[in-house]
Structures are given as structure tokens and as C-alpha cells.
Structure 1
Amino acid sequence: MSMQPKGSGEIPAETVRVARAAFPKGSLAIRVRDELGPLFRDEEFADLFPARGRPAWSPGGLALVSVLQFVEGLTDRQAAEAVRARIDFKYALGLALDDPGFDFSVLSEFRDRLAGADAGRRVLDGILVAAREKRLLKSAGRARTDSTHVLSAARHLCWLEMVAETLRSALNVLAQSAPGWLSEVAEAEWFRHYGTRAEDARFPAGRVKRDEAGERIGRDGTCLLSAVFSTDAPAWLRGLAEVETLRQVWVQHFHQVDGEVRRRGLKDCPPGALRLLTPYDTDARIGVKGDTMWDGYKVHFTETCEPDAPNLITNVATTVATVQDRSMAETIHQQLAARDCLPAEHWVDAGYPTAPALVSARHEHGIALHGPVQADNSAQTSAKSGFAQDAFTIDWDSRQATCPGGRTSTNWGERFSQRGQPVLRVVFSVSDCRPCPLREACINTPNVKRPRELRLRRRDEHAALQTARAEQQTDAWKERYKVRAGVEGTMSQAVQRCGLRRSRYGGLAKTSLQHQLTGAAINLARIDAHITQTPRARTRTSHFASLRPAELILDRAK
């Protein structure tokens, strides 16, 4: 298919007349078209299509249909039918009343093109550009960010199901790609064990029998891999994605002991960031946050939060589930800078702000990053007794620290923390610490003969942490921080309206596209609510929760 722009974007007069008669009060699609005009131009997606070939349906129109599809929760068939039959969709797209629309499969093909080029951001950006032109989006204001978990489209598999399905998936692809070769290689027992889905089989209930089944699957998979990588096998078989997945899973879960295939121990398996969970979504990883554990991804939404304008989502970032929030602040700021949506104040929860993030946000982007920073985790602070780090005087120019007893440090060196971040290790002399009368207050384990040590951030990071910790103790900051809580409503809206909690597609690229379209759909819904002056929903409180005593509310706030 080739992209050949058509039409001026004007709405046919007959379509306007019928739409006004059918919708005297308007609809979301009609109001958004009237307020923002054409949101997408075909030329914005020109690089996704070849220059020659059968003309494709308008990419700009398909982008708008994809967003409206998420706004109303439509399937591909329903969205294509809406374009063919609904007056308000024809009005929004600028189509004539007799326009036949397109086949529903076109939407899937268009999403594949967007996902392949990571072009989902263009859809969200198109709405933001139109909103800025209408002064609905303000820059240099306040923004807030939060993340939530997203389940993989593939269901969770136990270990036996996972390895069995990985082997079965590879066998099916080989049976389709090289049936003659596989017929010579396959053993008779394989047809009984892997001819149907693993969930249709009944695995042994006993632990010993299950271990034996796992080792049998391991031997069969090893045998198949040996055949594929032998010199007699066609070389192109090794390039099949399912074969490569089989190889990775077998490396991660099996090894040979005395010539026998054995399952690896838990401590011998790769970390969660590398470990595959299912052959049907190789990008999904297992994530843990508090008491929640899931297989899939994580999405970060950033939105404006000004009282006199709609709260619009300005950035959507999707990662695998193992990526921690603390590593995302700089990434989000870079993405906001790329679309000229940097705020002056950025409000986040405790997962995002780190010492490097505070410094980078201020120096690189001019952003005041606000969020509960990690408290001083020294033993003295945890025990609420003794001299914590703030009791020491730091002379950064002389690279020395002075303790409450007046002694200066003797060693100052650079190290790395457990998280791989650079820190400064400051050590005092043993001869000064042992006879010191303040030793019991300084070292919480006085029987230990080691001297006092400090672990400090670099100078600018240390100053940023100290300033943030002091500021966050004030009532004024706590009152201002309440603005961040509103982003929870955005997550709820995305879950209930657009099905955010579970990925519709397999793979990180398509899941990211789903989240970009979700952000665009929420923005259209909020712009429509702003046009119709629909008041923002208040936080719902159950009748029983409203009876909660005031002292319990204060305790929870602390």
C-alpha cells in the first residue's frame, strides 16, 4: 500500500447539514472536530508507507479512528462499522455520507505500522499540538506522574506449562516451515506429549513425578535444539523466532550434569529482568511492587494539573515490569522536553525522586522535582538515637568531615552504592573513635572496634537531598503535595474506560502503542468535558468510610 494524500480536509456540506440535524447538541466526535479541527494530516505518517502501490485509506483518518475507538471502547469491527454508518464519525473524519469506509482489518495493519516505527507518540502529539493552539495546554506549569502495572496479554503459566508450551510452539513453527525435516527428527512420544496445548494435559500431582516430567521436557527440548543446530539441518531454521525463544528458555532453566539434562536451581536462574515468562510474549517480565506481583509491563502517565484548564496527558512511557520508577524521572523529562511540555513543577510519589534525579531535573531541564525523598537510612536515624549524618560538618573543598567531638575524618574516597550509584565513603580514625567519650552516641554498636563511617552523595546531590528533606517537613509543602493525588483518578479513568490494566496485544512495542492511544483518548474525553463545562468528578467516599473518626484520618495522613 502507498500513502497518497487526498482531499482538503473540509467537511462536505451535506454531512454538516445531516450531522447538525441528527445531533442538535453535538457529540464528542463532533465537538472535538469543531474545537480542534483536523487533528492529523496524512503527511505526518508518510514514512510508514511506500511511495508506490495501491493507495491506502487516509492514515490521518485511521489515526483519528484509532483514538475514537479507544474513547468508546470499540472493537476493530465496531470502529469500522461506525465509520461506515455513524454520522458523527463521518463528520469528525470529513467524509461524505456515501463514503463506504474501510475493512476492519485495515486498523490492525495500521497499528502494525505504528508499532513498527514507534509512531504511537505522533498520535498523542497531534492532539497536544491542537490543544496548545487552542490554549488548552499550558507549558511551564505543574505536572504530576504516576505508574501502574499492566498484565500481559498472555496468561500466567506455571513452570511446567511454560517449558512445555515453549517446546510445543517451536515444534508447531518447525512443522509449518520444514515439515519434511521435522518428520525425520521428531520422536514418536513427542506427538503424544506436545500435540495439544499444555493446559489440556494433566500434569502429575506429586512433586517427584512433576520433577520427572520437567526433566523429560528438558531432554526433549535439548534433543530438538541439537538437531536444529546440527550441520545437517537447514541453517535458516536457527533464525526462526520460536526456535530462538526455545534456546533462551532452555539456557535459562536447564543445564547438563554428568551428561544428564537437569533443571537449574532457583539461585542459578537469571535475574527477573532477563528471564522469559511465556513463549507468547517474550517481552513480558515479572514485576513486584509492594504486595502486588504480576507478569507484564508498567506504564507511566504524566499530566498537567492546572485548575483553569483540562488536565491533559503530556507523556506516556511504557516499560517492562522490572524497570523501577526511580530510573524513569530523567527519561520522562527528556520525553517531555522533546515535545515542549516541560513543567516548572513536577510532582511525583516516593518511587521517583533520587538525588541524581533532583539535580538533573533542576540543572538540565529547569524543573523543580517534588516527591518524598528517601530518608537518611543510617543506623542512628533508624534507631532515633545517636548522631546521624546531619550532626557532622562537611568541608567539601578540603574533602573532610568533622564529627560532633571535633575530630576530622582521615579517609575520603569514591565508591558505588548497592544500586550502582556513586557515593563518597568518609572514614574516621580508629585512634580518634575508640577513646572518644561520645562513642556510644555516635556508633550504635559500641562493642565494634571499627571507626565511624559516613556514606555521602556528591556535593550537589547531598545539598539537594538535605534541602528536599527539610522542605518536606513543612506544612506548606505537605499542603502543596496534595495536588499529586489527582493522578490516581487518571489511572482509574484509563482502567475503566480504556482497559489499561491488561495489554490487548503481545510485545512491548504494541503495548506501548496501546498506552499512547489510551493517553490520546483520555485527552479527547477531557477536552470534550472542558467544552461542555462538565465538572470534574470528586473522589468518591463510601457511606461507612465517611464515618471514620478524625484521629484515624490524621494517622493515615502521617
Structure 2
Amino acid sequence: MQPQGSGEVPVETVRVARAAFPKGSLAIRVRDELGVLFADEQFADLFPARGKPAWSPGRLAMVLVLQFVEGLTDRQAAEAVRARIDWKFVLGLELTDPGFDFSVLSEFRDRLVGGDAGRCVLDAILVAAQKRGLVAAGGKARTDSTHVLSSARELNWLELVGETLRAALNAVARAEPDWLSAHALPDWFTHYATRIEDSRFPAARIKRVEVGRRIGADGMRLLGMIWTDDAPTALRVLPQVEVLRQVWVQQFHLVEGEVERRAPKDRPPGAKRLVTPHDIEARGSVKRDLVWDGYKVHLTETCEADTVHLVTNVTTTLAMVSDDRMAAVVHTGLARRGLLPDEHWVDTGYANSSSLAAARTDHKVALHGPLRPVTVAQARGEGTYGQDAFIIDWDHQHVTCPNGITSTQWHHRCSEEQLPVIRVRFSPADCRTCPRLRDCVSSPKAQRREITLRPRHEYEALHQARKLQATDEWKDRYKIRAGVEGTISQGVQACGLRRSRYRGLGKTSLQHQLTGAAINLIRINAWLTDRPRSHTRTSPLAALRPAA
């Protein structure tokens, strides 16, 4: 890669662009107001020092963002570079520049993924926006997540194991055709020569079970053949064979020498369980009534009333990663960009005691989100013997009950989620003689009161937040969080946010970084042209609803 020129737009390109677009366009305004967003030097580490000179990576990064702004394919984006005057203007190209072959975009994305450079695309736009005074640290921000479907088709169980075996057989056939011809069973050419989705599985449950056993036995036979001494060792390192081995370990086992499907409780958890052989990083997840295979994306945006709302952080995770782990990750990303807010508004999924305390302690951020309700009566604080009725002495590490009895045990432990907690226990000798024991404990057989506490800083943050969230003022201020739903809707409708274009977490993450960058350019353009924000659509019937 050889950095090119000063980035000035050729005089003839400027003249023609101004004549063709007297009122400007998004691409022209971006160049006029923000300047050159991406320099070739930013991507120097992605290219070798020697070889054929590459097309300008800074311009390619701009093309990728504009591609998402307008929802174009690679072919359409490459054609726009050749044919459109406003694109030549923003890229600083001569009118006669022939552009590049569309395959260059795919190769450049691979370089971005391989060098973990996707974040720098969004970062460059935010840096330019900061210089323009459109975004700054402090103020308010809000975050929400949404599901992302894998680019691979969702498979049922028979399709999963059948397609996994078919992909492995095709890979072996390409690598060692003579070996496979000598060892393959005749039925394999009948059952696995075409895509499994083209097959018609029997409707009867018993017959479907038989098909599953047959596929399981065939896959076990192929794995056994590959791991014999006379098999080519190169077959063992084929990616498709490794996927076959993992899926068969997860789905099948031997019972008295016969291949049987594992029982549901004997299968691995969702974090490890493969759902398709064509995207081995995709995972299955469930959120209320929604079930999907793929990933999850978290979007954070500024939300001050009189400024442009820009996406300041985008994080993509596997589908089953819970939102309650992500507040710290989001704050770390915002801190790296120098865009930490003073107030961060989130939904219930992100808000918990550890997140509230860590946000305040580590980043000086006030995290606001509805806390999950407490379901245990003794912990809710209801009645005389709720947890709030007990006096906690943190310095001397004991708790005193409403009757003046002091706890005898104070132990630091870990919860089922491996989070630090404090287990406090009273003596059975003290509790058994208490006439209100049954009102104090939840189990009819319990002989003493036990209390589970969070570490002190988390406990105090949690109680302070619950007290604040009970006020009408906080409930009214929390309405600001709802606006992030519009950002997700814009990402879905304009950029296809909920469907991955590519396979794998790395490329899906790059897609979402480009989506965040595209949304920012769209919003900056709307801000520069004084286009008002859209109001929430209300149907005529909903408008007639009486006020509560």
C-alpha cells in the first residue's frame, strides 16, 4: 500500500459536481463539512510492505460506508465509484477514474477483519464529528440491543446433522477423491449427493428417529475411517471434518455399540452448541417469545435534546451473551473514544448492582435502568422481617434482626453466576426460640434466618437506585431511553441490521461497525440540512385512547 496525495478534490470534479448538484448531496456535504474521513496511513498495517500497489484503502473505507448508507451490493458500489459524480467528489477522484473491480471490496473487508480494524471506521467518523463540534463527552447516552440472524439458513435437527455430514463428505471428496471412492458406502451417494434441504424427511416421528440414527451411524463411520492408520492425515485437519467431529460429539453417543442421539440434558449448553455447519460461530438464543440463531448487537447513541444523535459505540456478541454483562464493555469502548456520558440510560437487561457500582466507580457514569423486581418476600423488604428491617454492620461484619439478635456467620462466597456475595446466617439456637420464625423464613423446615448480600459498594448502589426509581421524577426522565428503539429501527430498515450479510462473528461485527458509521453520516446530513426528526407514528385509533 502506497499512501496517495494530499486528498484534494480535482478541480474539474469540483466544477462538475457543483453544477450537477447545486443543492448538494449527502456525499458532497460529508466531504465539505467533515473533510477526508479516512487516510491511507490508518490502514498501513493491513498491507504488506512489498507487492503490487493497492487501491487507496482510505477511499475503500469510504466506499464501504456509503455502500451501507444506500444499501448497495458490492457490484453496485463499484459501479457507483465509476459512474456517479458525487461519489467521485467525496473520494477525491478524477472524472475519468475507472474505479476498481467489485471483488476488491470483499478482499478489503477480509483485511479489516483480519486486522481487527473495523472499529477504526466508526472511530474516524466520530473524530471528525468531534472536531466539527457535533459530539462530545458528557451529557446523556442510551443503549439497547437487538437480535441478529445468521446469514446461514436456520436448520432443524435432522437438517443440522445431515448437512454437516454432507459438507464433510464434499470436503473429503475434493481433498482425496480416490480414497473416498474406495471407502464410501453406496447409500452415501443417494442420501448426501444433494443439499439436505432438498430431501423429504418422513412425517412420522418413529421414521424420523430412524433417519437420525442412520445419519448418526454414517457420520460415525466416516469419522472412524478418517482416523484409521491408512487414511490420509490431511483429512483430519479439514475444517468441515472438525465441524463434523464437534457436532457428533454434541449430538450422538454410543449405547451398547449403537449410535443414539443424546438426551437434551446430555447435550452441551448453548454457548458451545453448534447450530449450523456453515456458520460455526453462530449460536442459538431465546428472548421471551423470540428464538433465533446468530448474534446480538448493542448500539449506544447520544441523546441530548438540541444536538444530532450519533452512534458512539457498537458491540457485537454471540447470541446467548446476556445484556447484564455488557454495561462495562460499552463503557470501556466509550472511554477509549473519549465519549463517556454523564448519564447512561438503559433497559432492565443492563441494570444490576454490579453494573451500577462499576459504572460509577470505574468511569464516573450514572447508569440508569429499571432494576429487576425482587421475588422473595424476605428480600423485598415487606413486613416486619423483610431484609430492609435488618441492620447491617459492614465494619464489624454482622447483621442484627428486628428482635435484637446478632448473626453468627459472615462468609464471602460466589453465587451460581460466579458473582461475589456475602452469606449471613443466624444461629439456629437463637432462631428456634423466636415466636415469629415462620414469618421470618420462607421454608417451612428452616430453623434459622439466612441473608444473601452483595458486596457493600454494590449493595449501597442498588438500594440508592431503587429509592430513586420509585420517584415520579425519575420515571419521567426515563422516557428518554425509548428513543434508542428508533435507532435500531433505522439500522434495520436502512442497513439490514438484523440479518448478517456475512458468516462469522468477525465479519458480522464489521458489518455493524459500518452500519453505525452509515447511520452517523445519514444523521449528520439530516442535521446539516435542518431536516427535523421523525415523530413516533400514532395510528388514528391509538390517538383516541383516553389518558391514563
Same fold (TM over 0.5): yes
Change (3 A) 1:295 1:231: same
> 1:466 corresponds to which letter in structure 2?
H
**CA distance in structure 1 between the aligned counterparts of 2:311 and 2:51, rounded to whole angstroms:** 37
Change (3 A) 1:327 1:19: same
**CA distance in structure 1 between the aligned counterparts of 2:496 and 2:305, rounded to whole angstroms:** 27
- When structure 1 is superposed on structure 2, of 81-90 and 473-482 the one drifting more is 473-482
Change (3 A) 1:28 1:449: closer
Indicate if the aligned counterparts of 1:434 and 1:449 stay in contact, CA closer than 8 A. Answer: no
> 1:431 corresponds to which letter in structure 2?
A
TM alignment of 1:370-449, pairs within 5 A: 370-380=368-378, 384-445=382-443, 447-449=444-446
After superposition, the C-alpha distances for 1:336-390 in whole angstroms (9 at most, x for unaligned) are: 1112121111111100122221121111111111111233342335695452211
Counterpart check, 1:486 vs 2:483:
yes
Aligned partner of 1:316 in structure 2 is 314
**CA distance in structure 2 between the aligned counterparts of 1:50 and 1:182, rounded to whole angstroms:** 39
**CA distance in structure 1 between the aligned counterparts of 2:484 and 2:98, rounded to whole angstroms:** 40
Q: 1:474 aligns with which of 471, 484, 492?
A: 471
Indicate if the aligned counterparts of 2:380 and 2:386 stay in contact, CA closer than 8 A. Answer: no
Aligned partner of 1:527 in structure 2 is 524
TM alignment of 1:294-309, pairs within 5 A: 294-309=292-307
> 1:132 corresponds to which letter in structure 2?
Q
- When structure 1 is superposed on structure 2, of 426-435 and 481-490 the one drifting more is 426-435
Indicate if the aligned counterparts of 1:426 and 1:453 stay in contact, CA closer than 8 A. Answer: yes
Deviation at 1:121, TM superposition (A): 0.3
**CA distance in structure 2 between the aligned counterparts of 1:275 and 1:158, rounded to whole angstroms:** 14
**CA distance in structure 1 between the aligned counterparts of 2:34 and 2:183, rounded to whole angstroms:** 62
**How many percent of aligned residue pairs carry the same amino acid?**
64
Change (3 A) 1:100 1:514: same
Aligned partner of 1:149 in structure 2 is 147
Indicate if the aligned counterparts of 1:428 and 1:452 stay in contact, CA closer than 8 A. Answer: yes
**CA distance in structure 2 between the aligned counterparts of 1:119 and 1:420, rounded to whole angstroms:** 33
Aligned partner of 1:556 in structure 2 is none
**CA distance in structure 1 between the aligned counterparts of 2:262 and 2:545, rounded to whole angstroms:** 52
Counterpart check, 1:540 vs 2:521:
no
- When structure 1 is superposed on structure 2, of 107-116 and 434-443 the one drifting more is 434-443
After superposition, the C-alpha distances for 1:142-187 in whole angstroms (9 at most, x for unaligned) are: 1111000011111111100110000000111111111122112211
Specify the SS of the correspondent of 2:540.
Answer: coil
Aligned partner of 1:161 in structure 2 is 159
Counterpart check, 1:550 vs 2:547:
yes
> 1:550 corresponds to which letter in structure 2?
A
Indicate if the aligned counterparts of 2:384 and 2:402 stay in contact, CA closer than 8 A. Answer: no
- When structure 1 is superposed on structure 2, of 375-384 and 294-303 the one drifting more is 375-384
Aligned partner of 1:87 in structure 2 is 85
Aligned partner of 1:554 in structure 2 is none
Indicate if the aligned counterparts of 2:16 and 2:85 stay in contact, CA closer than 8 A. Answer: yes
Indicate if the aligned counterparts of 1:299 and 1:318 stay in contact, CA closer than 8 A. Answer: yes
**CA distance in structure 2 between the aligned counterparts of 1:27 and 1:208, rounded to whole angstroms:** 63
TM alignment of 1:50-449, pairs within 5 A: 50-380=48-378, 384-445=382-443, 447-449=444-446
**CA distance in structure 1 between the aligned counterparts of 2:377 and 2:307, rounded to whole angstroms:** 47
> 1:248 corresponds to which letter in structure 2?
Q
**CA distance in structure 2 between the aligned counterparts of 1:217 and 1:383, rounded to whole angstroms:** 56
**CA distance in structure 2 between the aligned counterparts of 1:25 and 1:342, rounded to whole angstroms:** 36
Aligned partner of 1:510 in structure 2 is 507
> 1:452 corresponds to which letter in structure 2?
R
Indicate if the aligned counterparts of 2:150 and 2:279 stay in contact, CA closer than 8 A. Answer: yes
Counterpart check, 1:457 vs 2:454:
yes
- When structure 1 is superposed on structure 2, of 337-346 and 295-304 the one drifting more is 337-346
Specify the SS of the correspondent of 2:422.
Answer: strand
Residue correspondences, number: 548
- When structure 1 is superposed on structure 2, of 533-542 and 21-30 the one drifting more is 533-542
Deviation at 1:320, TM superposition (A): 0.7
Specify the SS of the correspondent of 1:20.
Answer: helix
Deviation at 1:549, TM superposition (A): 2.0
**CA distance in structure 2 between the aligned counterparts of 1:237 and 1:5, rounded to whole angstroms:** 43
> 2:344 corresponds to which letter in structure 1?
H
> 2:162 corresponds to which letter in structure 1?
A
Specify the SS of the correspondent of 1:83.
Answer: helix
Indicate if the aligned counterparts of 1:410 and 1:427 stay in contact, CA closer than 8 A. Answer: yes
Specify the SS of the correspondent of 2:354.
Answer: helix
Indicate if the aligned counterparts of 2:140 and 2:302 stay in contact, CA closer than 8 A. Answer: yes
**CA distance in structure 2 between the aligned counterparts of 1:523 and 1:280, rounded to whole angstroms:** 32
After superposition, the C-alpha distances for 1:461-483 in whole angstroms (9 at most, x for unaligned) are: 11111111111111121122111
Change (3 A) 1:466 1:383: closer
> 1:501 corresponds to which letter in structure 2?
R
Deviation at 1:232, TM superposition (A): 1.4
Indicate if the aligned counterparts of 1:385 and 1:441 stay in contact, CA closer than 8 A. Answer: no
- Tell me the TM-score normalised to structure 1 length: 0.96
> 1:4 corresponds to which letter in structure 2?
Q
**CA distance in structure 2 between the aligned counterparts of 1:86 and 1:262, rounded to whole angstroms:** 60
Specify the SS of the correspondent of 2:296.
Answer: strand
**CA distance in structure 1 between the aligned counterparts of 2:47 and 2:234, rounded to whole angstroms:** 28
Specify the SS of the correspondent of 1:504.
Answer: coil
Aligned partner of 2:3 in structure 1 is 5
After superposition, the C-alpha distances for 1:387-430 in whole angstroms (9 at most, x for unaligned) are: 22111100011111011111111111122222221111111122
Specify the SS of the correspondent of 2:143.
Answer: strand
Q: CA RMSD in A?
A: 1.3
Indicate if the aligned counterparts of 2:437 and 2:448 stay in contact, CA closer than 8 A. Answer: no
> 1:327 corresponds to which letter in structure 2?
R
> 1:343 corresponds to which letter in structure 2?
P
Specify the SS of the correspondent of 1:544.
Answer: helix
Counterpart check, 1:32 vs 2:30:
yes
Deviation at 1:78, TM superposition (A): 0.8
Indicate if the aligned counterparts of 1:433 and 1:452 stay in contact, CA closer than 8 A. Answer: yes
**CA distance in structure 2 between the aligned counterparts of 1:94 and 1:470, rounded to whole angstroms:** 57
**Structure 2: where are the runs of 5+ without partners?**
none
Specify the SS of the correspondent of 2:385.
Answer: coil
Specify the SS of the correspondent of 2:16.
Answer: helix
> 1:470 corresponds to which letter in structure 2?
K
Deviation at 1:138, TM superposition (A): 1.2
Specify the SS of the correspondent of 1:550.
Answer: coil
After superposition, the C-alpha distances for 1:414-463 in whole angstroms (9 at most, x for unaligned) are: 22222221111111122222222333432345x43421111100111111
- Tell me the TM-score normalised to structure 2 length: 0.98
**CA distance in structure 2 between the aligned counterparts of 1:433 and 1:491, rounded to whole angstroms:** 53
Indicate if the aligned counterparts of 2:381 and 2:389 stay in contact, CA closer than 8 A. Answer: no
